[in-house]
Amino acid sequence: NDDFMKQLAKHVAPGSSVLFVLLRRATLDKLLEHLNQFEGTVLQTSLSHDEEQKLRDAIESSSDSVVVT
């Protein structure tokens, strides 16, 4: 929602970025193929616990950027 994005924007450091991903029809493996090039932190998802962990494992090797799905 817009309020979440506005609150998050207040905490983004200069020179860093935020990536919001909204998917309606996709499989996690296809998403990970594209997101595994990024490093970041997952803040919020609607994925199952297992799928969320796969996403975290794929992208959370540093906290230079943030991913919210």
Interval 23-60: pLDDT, tens: 787 788 888 888 878 788 888 888 889 988 988 888 87
pTM for the model: 0.63
pLDDT in tens, 4-25: 888 888 878 888 888 877 778 7
How many C-beta atoms surround the C-beta of residue 66 within 10 A? 19
The sheet carrying 41-42 orders its strands as 17-20, 65-68, 41-42
For 22, the token pair is 């909204």
Q: How far apart are CA 28 and CA 52, in angstroms?
A: 9
Looking up tokens 């609607």, which residue turns up? 46
Identify the band that residue 68 occupies on the pLDDT scale cut at 50, 70 and 90. Answer: low
